[in-house]
Structure 1
Amino acid sequence: MTDAASPSGSSPAEAEAFLAAHPDIEAVDIVLHDSNGIGRGKIIRRHELLSFYNNGRHLPISILGLDICGEDVHETGLIWDQGDGDLRAWPVPGTLTRLHNTNPPRAEVFMSLYDLDGAPMTSDPRHALARQVAALAAEGLHPAGAFELEFFLLDKERGPDGRVRPARDVLDGRSSDKTEVYSVDHLHGMLPLFSDIYKGAELAGITAETLISEYAPGQYELTLNYRSDVMQAADDLMRLKRIVRAQARAHGVTACFMAKPVEDYAGSGMHFHVSMQDKAARNVFIEAQEGEWSPMILHALGGLRATMGESMLVFAPHANSWRRFASQSYAPVSPSWGVNNRSVALRIPAGDIKARRIEHRPAGVDANPYLVAATVLAGIRHGLAHRIDPGPETTGNGYEGSDDLPMPADWREAIRAAQGSAFLKDALGPDMHRTFCAIKAAEQARVARTISGVDYDLYLHTV
């Protein structure tokens, strides 16, 4: 099949203009993101790019049925149930960009998967988010938002005790095991690396903003510009992770996006700031008088609180994710809400009333932003549709209170809650829900049967 109409809306003119503007580009990464947010795809040569835009690219359906290790998960129904046949991937419009600091020069473009008849392949996480955005649009609402990116920069080699350790400064090799939270001088040692990250973001059309040293040795945070398009916000986060990883590697250090890589310090979150606009682009979360919350933001909070427990697998999808949740850890342990309060799960930040929004804090940086955004938007829709009261605001130390809404205690409970959740099935779509839950169950079984080092430490010479 040739010169097929692209169901993604991509145009060969985009590829032609890019190739003309970048005659030195030799190859292009074509990237599809799976349930775990892992970029899977191919590297194609320059002369293949226009064909990709004209005809799409065949990929096996099983590419979206893989676990964290890249192994087939047969329970997804995406492997032999369908003969592992090919579907067709198409470029995502506006995502073709030059990569910074590559030799030879390379580019990158995101893609989404479609059935051969052009229908969206509904186990593709991008389509799950698009579905929720479309549902809100049908209700006259348009979400806007941005993600925060927290991560660690680590040495390539582990320490003598086998544990990870903070990376030495790329500027002069200086090391620090201190919690250098908000230290500006500490940031200077990593400026050559961060300069390359900012350059990569600029090439990709991403406005990466404030940089801080976070609350653990070797931990940092980058904030992203607020977007009127939530899909663009998720794309920004995915792309920035790839940029950080690639530039860290170029500077001889490892970028780590585990939720909890160091047991004695805070983990890394992926806070999602979200607001809602009406057809006139007015923020419907703004209160008529400051401090008297609008019904829209209260019902949105109510929906997010009511659905958080059964959605936690999306926000904390891995075994390691659950090590992040602990009292006094800056990670929420209950579905609480509050104002200007970092001990709660749902925070209304202080600031200009015109920028009124909800900061959704449960997700770790290891979560898939497309699925996180889809689930959050579905929770907001649920709250608005049913006019759910969020209950009283949490003030003071949110870790000291109790909540009557259930939350899973661990990964296994979260998987069971997600599997049985009618809300999450609707939020992600039946196919994405089945795929995601099957992959998580397979990964949990893999972890459960693995003999870990702590088993030997505790039991080898004692029982």
Structure 2
Amino acid sequence: MTTTCPSGATPIEAEAFLAAHPQIQAIDILLHDSNGIGRGKIIRRHELMSVFEGGRHLPISILGLDIVGEDVHETGLIWDAGDGDLRAWPVPGTLVPLHGTDPARAEMFLGQYHLDGTPMLSDPRHALALQVEALAKMGLHPSAAFELEFFLLDPERDAMGRVQPARDVLDGRFSAKTEVYSVDQLIGMQPLFTDIYAGAAAAGITAETLISEYAPGQYELTLKYRDNALTAADDLVRLKRIVRAQARRHGVVACFMAKPIADYAGSGMHLHVSLRDDEGRNIFAEAPGAGWTEAIRHALGGLKQTMGESMLVFAPHANSWRRFANQSYAPVSPSWGVNNRSVALRIPAGDVRARRIEHRPSGVDANPYLVAATVLAGIRMGLEERIDPGPETTGNAYEAEAGGIPRDWRAAIEAATGSAFLKEALGAEMHRTFTAVKAAEYARVARTIADVDYDLYLHRV
């Protein structure tokens, strides 16, 4: 058993934080499971030093839970392991104050380790770290940023029991219109977004552009591009928690379902990614007047070839699959193109020095650590095997022949479970845990009688 922190965090960080924030009375310590849900404890101020000095024992079963927090025995992480404790250690640099809490609280991310200090590989953050390390051995380093789309909903349903957009927190005004790119629509939610930006600033992350998106009550926040893919994923899970908490304080509901409203677009979690060499050069950036680099073409080829068997990572829930529809701004085939929002893999327009791939399949309900790990593994495979992506899709990708990805959640679970690529991308332990959790969640949904069953069949069959 080790008492030396394997994550690299030191008590100096805790000492400095406590000295700088004498008002902090408690700290949320969070370990993220296969669904990206933060699970852990709220500790008191005086307990923080001990977490840095000796870690914190947490049950192994935390990483084997389904979406509602129930044990999934097929993961092998429950009674097969005696539901024993492992040791969670602080992730360096993730101890930050929370905005607007009373009494004042902070937040810190944890990584799960075995008692001997080796990483517990059903921890999603470790899965991403392994892919970052694999690229580093090739002399490559990923830069990345996620986009966060979400809905702000009224806490009360409408007369038909359906969710509805939230009223403006400024003055209670209501709109059920799409309002895409309306700046005036943003003004009505400005008090809430002011607190969201303040929460992000307190946490040391840079939330940037705000957009009124393509559905009533839907918004998008972008995050600053990071030179570290792990930090980019940390930013996304932290921003989701900030948005949810600040929305609740303002009396509205932040919704991160992929498709909460049937007749409108769903919410994506696009990942922008590029690769730097050891000298800091963007290997995706072409020379002036030249065509696409071999690196970006091969990266696209790897992502395109592995997309079908990886879709469970990008669309992990039953609701995720309602997002994929023709002309919905969600891709329906493994296509690539330039400055084209109908494709799955987009090369955005802009300065060549910022050349990157925008990976568009993921819903906002996906786990960003697993999304980034799978994307980086696909890129690495494309580079190593020099995979040709085929011709660029121009115009409307929805009019092209669909295919190459599973048609529904069950097919995605089957494809992911049998995928040698995904097993390598996530690591054998994370792959087993993730696919077991998804199979258990599928069984839960399959045995649930939905309202639509009564609507269609109760008085007719």
TM-score (norm 2): 0.99
Distance 1:181 1:288 in 2: 36
SS of the residue aligned with 1:59?
A: strand
Pick the aligned partner of 2:457 from 443, 456, 459: 459
* Letter aligned with residue 408 of structure 1: P
Aligned to 2:164: 165
Pick the aligned partner of 1:439 from 434, 437, 445: 437
Aligned to 2:414: 416
* Letter aligned with residue 325 of structure 1: F
Aligned to 1:360: 359
Aligned to 2:266: 267
**Unmatched 5+ stretches in structure 1:** none
Aligned to 1:41: 40
Q: After superposition, where does 1:204-353 map in structure 2 within 5 Å?
A: 204-290=203-289, 292-353=291-352
Q: CA deviation at 1:402?
A: 1.4
SS of the residue aligned with 2:275?
A: strand
Q: CA deviation at 1:287?
A: 1.1
Percent of aligned positions that are identical: 77
Aligned to 2:100: 101
Q: CA deviation at 1:291?
A: 5.7
Q: After superposition, where does 1:48-63 map in structure 2 within 5 Å?
A: 48-63=47-62
Q: CA deviation at 1:82?
A: 0.7
SS of the residue aligned with 1:399?
A: helix
Distance 1:290 1:199 in 2: 42
Aligned to 1:124: 123
Deviations 1:271-315 (A, max 9, x none): 000000000010000112346000000000000000000000000
SS of the residue aligned with 2:185?
A: helix
Distance 2:201 2:70 in 1: 35
SS of the residue aligned with 2:397?
A: coil
Aligned to 2:375: 376
| 8 Å Cα contact 1:150-1:270 kept in structure 2 | yes
Distance 1:291 1:340 in 2: 17
Deviates more, 1:159-168 or 1:284-293: 284-293
Q: Does 1:20 align with 2:19?
A: yes
SS of the residue aligned with 2:126?
A: helix
Distance 2:290 2:248 in 1: 46
TM-score (norm 1): 0.99
Q: After superposition, where does 1:134-149 map in structure 2 within 5 Å?
A: 134-149=133-148
* Letter aligned with residue 184 of structure 1: V
* Letter aligned with residue 421 of structure 2: F
* Letter aligned with residue 381 of structure 1: R
Distance 1:224 1:108 in 2: 19
**Unmatched 5+ stretches in structure 2:** none
SS of the residue aligned with 2:308?
A: helix
Distance 1:318 1:289 in 2: 43
Distance 1:281 1:26 in 2: 41
Distance 1:146 1:22 in 2: 29
List structure 1 runs of 4+ shifted beyond 6 angstroms: none
Deviations 1:192-250 (A, max 9, x none): 00000000000111110000100000000000000000000000000000000000000
Q: CA deviation at 1:24?
A: 1.1
Distance 2:289 2:450 in 1: 53
Distance 2:310 2:140 in 1: 22
The structure-2 alpha-carbon separation of the partners of 1:26 and 1:410, relative to structure 1 and needing over 3 Å to count, comes to: same
| 8 Å Cα contact 1:290-1:353 kept in structure 2 | no
